[in-house]
Amino acid sequence: DDSKNTHKKIPLHTVEGIPIPTSFFTPEKLQSAISYKATPEDVFIVTYPKCGTTWMQYIVWEIINEGAPLPSFDDMNVKYVPFLELTGREIAETMKPPKLFKVHLPYHLTPHHPEAKYIFVARNPFDCCVSFYNHTKKIKNCYHFEDGTFDDFFECFIRGEVHYGDFFDHLLSWWPHRQDPNVLFTTYEEMKSNPENAVTNVAKFLGNDYWEKLKDDKDLVDKILENTDFNNMKEKLQYNIGQDGDNDQKVEFFRKGQVGEWKENFSDEQYRRLKKHMMQKTEGTDIPKLWKD
């Protein structure tokens, strides 16, 4: 049913098995990220793109920094919780523990240390696809997909012809490790349905130093929840990465922040096809149950 292959494509090349855009991201930085030697003091936030990475970056940062005012999006991604495939591993040398990193890498390419911590956020593939479409379309100088339609992107997504490849390959690589003692596995939907639980679970996972500070301090928890609330982040933060030359070109990163918005974008046929792809890819696992309501 997906025989037509005439959709607009995203210019990508494959490096270390990962499809990356032919501009903005480089093979050297990706290789540098992969070759980073993890330490027991590291915390990695791991996601497939558009699954709640930024939200989790700010939650972790807010817990560690006790509800301080939000740093800018750029500082977050290049300084505080650097996006390792974009910055390369050298950044780690200038950081103080706990060293926080964002990666979109599959399990086998993620820098590993048995005592490092890994926070994995999954999101339902339907909302992820819509979010990823908007992201890919808007960041013109990286993806060159400004003329692409949702239908074009859907064909790319279901074929894994997008930045970081197939959604399910990425998720499946982490799935067997979801209960490892140094892995916290959660979903965007879980975070949305109970943000307070998300904050307390992350604080517990980060260790007693953080949990002790937070557990009897309702004001601190409230402050963190207020700061990391979608509307507050949307209001306070600007997304500048990937802007093209003309400065008025603001990229709306904090777009909708909802669960189930895909219904406004998918045709019935697209829903059936992605569902079928999911069932095939995840056969023998409980992955589809993550998103049963």
Shortest distance (Å) from residue 201 CB to ligand A3P: 16
- Amino acid code (one letter) for 152: D
Report if residue 77 touches ligand A3P, rule: CB under 6 A: no
For the question of residue 104 being annotated catalytic, the response is: yes
Judged by beta carbon, residue 255 or residue 273, the one nearer ligand A3P is 255
Alpha-carbon span 244 to 249, nearest angstrom: 7
Report if residue 127 touches ligand A3P, rule: CB under 6 A: yes
Residue among 254, 270, 274, 278 that touches ligand A3P (CB under 6 A): 254
Report if residue 256 touches ligand A3P, rule: CB under 6 A: yes
Judged by beta carbon, residue 47 or residue 282, the one nearer ligand A3P is 47
Which range touches ligand A3P (CB under 6 A), out of 23-31, 45-53, 83-91, 174-182? 45-53
> Rounded to 5 degrees, what are φ and ψ at 42?
-95, 145
- Amino acid code (one letter) for 185: F
Q: Which two tokens stand for residue 198?
A: 């998300």
Shortest distance (Å) from residue 3 CB to ligand A3P: 30
Report if residue 50 touches ligand A3P, rule: CB under 6 A: yes
Bridge partners, residue 121, by sequence: 47, 186
The angle, 0 to 180 degrees and rounded to 10, between the axes of the packed helices 218-227 and 53-64 is: 150
Alpha-carbon span 202 to 197, nearest angstrom: 8
> Rounded to 5 degrees, what are φ and ψ at 174?
-90, -25
x-or-dash string of contact with ligand A3P, 225-244, rule CB under 6 A: ---x-x--x-----------
Report if residue 47 touches ligand A3P, rule: CB under 6 A: yes
Residue among 21, 52, 125, 242 that touches ligand A3P (CB under 6 A): 52
Report if residue 223 touches ligand A3P, rule: CB under 6 A: no
Shortest distance (Å) from residue 59 CB to ligand A3P: 8
User: Measuring CA to CA, how many Å separate 90 from each of 23, 38, 95, 158, 280?
Assistant: 21, 12, 10, 35, 40
Judged by beta carbon, residue 81 or residue 91, the one nearer ligand A3P is 81
Residue among 54, 87, 124, 201 that touches ligand A3P (CB under 6 A): 54
Report if residue 282 touches ligand A3P, rule: CB under 6 A: no
Judged by beta carbon, residue 156 or residue 207, the one nearer ligand A3P is 156
Bridge partners, residue 109, by sequence: none
Contact between 78 and 91 (Cβ < 8 Å): yes
Bridge partners, residue 100, by sequence: 43
Judged by beta carbon, residue 28 or residue 252, the one nearer ligand A3P is 252
Which range touches ligand A3P (CB under 6 A), out of 25-33, 150-158, 249-257, 279-287? 249-257
- Active-site residue among 7, 13, 104, 112? 104
Contact between 274 and 263 (Cβ < 8 Å): no
Helix (H, G, I), strand (E, B) or coil at 136: helix
**Angle, CA of 76, 52 and 103, to the nearest 5°:** 60
Report if residue 186 touches ligand A3P, rule: CB under 6 A: no
Candidates 187, 199, 263; CA nearest to 229 is 199
Candidates 23, 180, 54; CA nearest to 117 is 180
Which residues contribute to the site for ligand A3P (CB under 6 A)?
Answer: 47, 49-55, 127, 131, 134, 228, 230, 233, 254-257, 261
